[in-house]
Structure 1
């Protein structure tokens, strides 16, 4: 794929505070459903900070959401964009259900529209997103060379093969230590360092979730400091001093809470960011003292051991799932049940590193099964037997998600495997499933629902049956 494919049309005009439809661009509030063009059904959301003026050049962050929820996506960044004086925009049309090519075209039209009506700093165009939105965000610089940086929350690089040092956008990853994508982002950090592509990795205690505002603000601040270093923004010594002091305060707080690994990472990122702005000898001293701490060395050993074990278990999950699907090996469900039991032990483990590893592996296993479900469903001829097996696995790895019990019941009934359907029906009841209406609407179960065995189960768990049972 060539890097000059679908270039952004960056046209700069004077801002008019209202569109032809009479929509006023209000500052300090998210404006939703702004039309990209009258001739197409595409809209975007927009946020202008309260200090915005129709002059100068403003940084802009385009936020991506996998479900096209532009207003909600901007809501996550609104507070920090206000503090850091960034414009926000997000498409309501980009989503996971359409192809990358279509998402790129939609993004191109939105970028062109926004750049034609707002005074944008063309050296300060950034993208951001969470999970699938994060992958979309970090894919965009491959198509649009004018994108200066990316904030990817809970998501690694979408395609490392297309990256090159000839287009070195600034990548900022934000990830929780319990997120199964954490090891991936660590490996991508090394990859980017090898290409001399500027990058930062901000790590917090948590899982697959939106990071707190402090980390989102830190990411925007990193972009601003980088822009100052490159001459794309006027250097502000007071801003630099305030940002530096806040980062040092965060490090001291992490040290106080004995989160020494996180404190060490924060120092590494600060050394990378502030080296062109100020003397860092005192910060280096803090870092050296942390590394000498016995507690730090113990935490580091535990984390390294956990990463090693985690890598081996991930490989096992990938290998055995592939083998089981190839042979439709229902007999291996017991092994998978045992593995989930081991994961629950890890989650309750003695060390923080082991507990975090357990949560990452749990998330990885669920994501692995779900990815395979999506692959099977995307085939021209859907393999129902593979879907049954994968749904059975999900009842093991996610026992409170009743959708997968219902999938097994429906597909088993489709092939008249009523014994299997009844077994998973009772398992769902045992786990707390109570939605009788969903059962009545479940596809392929018309004959199952009139069976005496089915009605006995319904009567047992609901104190009533659909059909009266007679001797």
Structure 2
């Protein structure tokens, strides 16, 4: 009986690049599969429950910024099972390695899967979020037969290297609170202008967040429908009807939650996506019904006004921030803190357009200030400039421990123990609790041995590393 179950639920695979044998679970995720001999990185693999090596399969290579392969593969599980894809999800931590190493390892991962499994070379796709979207959208430069790219919250586009003779489908997905929303739309316009097939999906989320599995399923159906149109997959009308109804259900959810303008935009895209399948009249009727709904015109107006205001505000924020950094204007730190407080209040607005705008503007401020923070800390600039950008970071993103660490390090090295202790306490007020890291800050060794430093640590964490028995709270 055990042998029978093993035959039903697992497949033995011998890779071409390794003598190691491993079992792959059918209808489930198998984690920690080796990428190649001599490479320590691994990937997770999902295979549909009816997987058989007797036929060729489409595959989606997925890249998560933190290398959460199995978790991310499970996000794609429902779509992969229903629409019959293999999912190869990377365990590569993209935030800890240089980009050339990442691209090389991603290429090795692709080669390993393509050589080890019965993959249809005409139906190879990538998907990724954040830095993972940049990696995934760069891979068509290496694999010329790429059929599609799903980019979530970011992308990589280099017109000089794009091979227009080998077009692929580009699907953008972005959270409605993500400051990258306009950038993603510009990527879409770029691909539209060179006649690549495109689609875009929005979800209720911020930057560095994956959408839910239902959004991913609807997006993957774009790859599936495009493959059917090209004759790469069987034209099963019942199956196409099911995909269409799933997507209509999504637009209906938008309508019921009074997101009329977003629903109409999605239906407009669906008309092109499902053309020649007999749904044109149904889509047109749904669009007409939404546009007649009370609230549609006001939402469209609010959206356009918010878009115009937001782009102007982004430009103004960046100009003022760069100017304050160049002049090391500590007096304006309070003004930036006030701007962030106002955006925080606006996030709770009952007007979704205004609330989402506040999220995006704060996200953009966070992005620009982090970019300048990273650049300045690498540069040969006066200590005052480094302290200023670090303090500014804590005003814009109160929960970024890196900025607090830098202030403690710089102030401690400069003998300004009062400032270092002040920012140590501000960091701990955010809920930070990694005590070991508090005692490994560069340039603050003498301060870390002081009674004052340990008093503050014990006050918030209940204990301190030094003088634990003698330290008393104030």
**Partner of residue 231, structure 1:** 231
**Partner of residue 70, structure 2:** 71
In structure 2, the CA distance between the partners of 1:458 and 1:224, relative to structure 1 (3 Å rule), is closer
Give 1:196 shift.
1.5
**Partner of residue 444, structure 1:** 443
- Conserved 8 A contact 1:81-1:87: yes
Q: Distance in 2 between matches of 1:97 and 1:58?
A: 32
In structure 2, the CA distance between the partners of 1:260 and 1:162, relative to structure 1 (3 Å rule), is farther
**Superposition map of 1:56-67 within 5 A:** 56-67=55-66
| 431-440 or 302-311, which deviates more | 431-440
Give 1:431 shift.
4.8
In structure 2, the CA distance between the partners of 1:429 and 1:216, relative to structure 1 (3 Å rule), is closer
In structure 2, the CA distance between the partners of 1:389 and 1:124, relative to structure 1 (3 Å rule), is same
Q: Answer yes or no: is 1:421 the counterpart of 2:417.
A: no
Q: How many residues align?
A: 454
Q: Distance in 2 between matches of 1:425 and 1:16?
A: 54
Q: Answer yes or no: is 1:216 the counterpart of 2:212.
A: no
SS of match in other structure, 2:23 = coil
Give 1:334 shift.
1.8
Give 1:377 shift.
4.5
| 322-331 or 352-361, which deviates more | 322-331
Give 1:296 shift.
0.7
Give 1:305 shift.
1.3
In structure 2, the CA distance between the partners of 1:167 and 1:447, relative to structure 1 (3 Å rule), is same
Q: Answer yes or no: is 1:301 the counterpart of 2:301.
A: yes
Q: Answer yes or no: is 1:316 the counterpart of 2:316.
A: yes
CA distances 1:91-132 after superposition (whole Å, capped 9, x unpaired): 334724434333332222222222222221111100011111
**Partner of residue 118, structure 2:** 119
CA distances 1:310-344 after superposition (whole Å, capped 9, x unpaired): 11121122222222333333222122112112212
- Conserved 8 A contact 1:229-1:277: no
**Partner of residue 91, structure 2:** 92
Q: Distance in 2 between matches of 1:390 and 1:35?
A: 42
**Partner of residue 265, structure 1:** 265
Give 1:180 shift.
1.4
Q: Distance in 2 between matches of 1:77 and 1:298?
A: 36
- Conserved 8 A contact 1:67-1:95: yes
Give 1:451 shift.
6.0
In structure 2, the CA distance between the partners of 1:451 and 1:125, relative to structure 1 (3 Å rule), is closer
Give 1:30 shift.
2.1
In structure 2, the CA distance between the partners of 1:111 and 1:425, relative to structure 1 (3 Å rule), is closer
SS of match in other structure, 1:206 = coil
| 172-181 or 154-163, which deviates more | 154-163
Q: Distance in 1 between matches of 2:246 and 2:458?
A: 62
- Superposition TM-score, scaled by structure 2 size: 0.86
Give 1:411 shift.
1.5
Q: Distance in 1 between matches of 2:452 and 2:118?
A: 69
SS of match in other structure, 1:23 = strand
Give 1:384 shift.
5.2
**Partner of residue 363, structure 2:** 363
Q: Distance in 1 between matches of 2:61 and 2:373?
A: 31
Q: Distance in 1 between matches of 2:191 and 2:252?
A: 29
Q: Distance in 2 between matches of 1:166 and 1:264?
A: 33
- Superposition TM-score, scaled by structure 1 size: 0.87
In structure 2, the CA distance between the partners of 1:219 and 1:462, relative to structure 1 (3 Å rule), is closer
CA distances 1:154-184 after superposition (whole Å, capped 9, x unpaired): 2244545644543321111111111111121
CA distances 1:352-385 after superposition (whole Å, capped 9, x unpaired): 1111100111112112222223334555x58754
Q: Distance in 2 between matches of 1:34 and 1:449?
A: 43
- Conserved 8 A contact 1:178-1:359: yes
Q: Distance in 2 between matches of 1:442 and 1:39?
A: 34
In structure 2, the CA distance between the partners of 1:50 and 1:344, relative to structure 1 (3 Å rule), is same
The structure, 1 or 2, with the larger RCO (C-alpha pairs under 8 Å, 6+ apart) is 1
Q: Answer yes or no: is 1:147 the counterpart of 2:142.
A: no
In structure 2, the CA distance between the partners of 1:310 and 1:437, relative to structure 1 (3 Å rule), is same
Unpaired runs of 5+ residues, structure 1, are 1-14
Q: CA RMSD in A?
A: 2.9
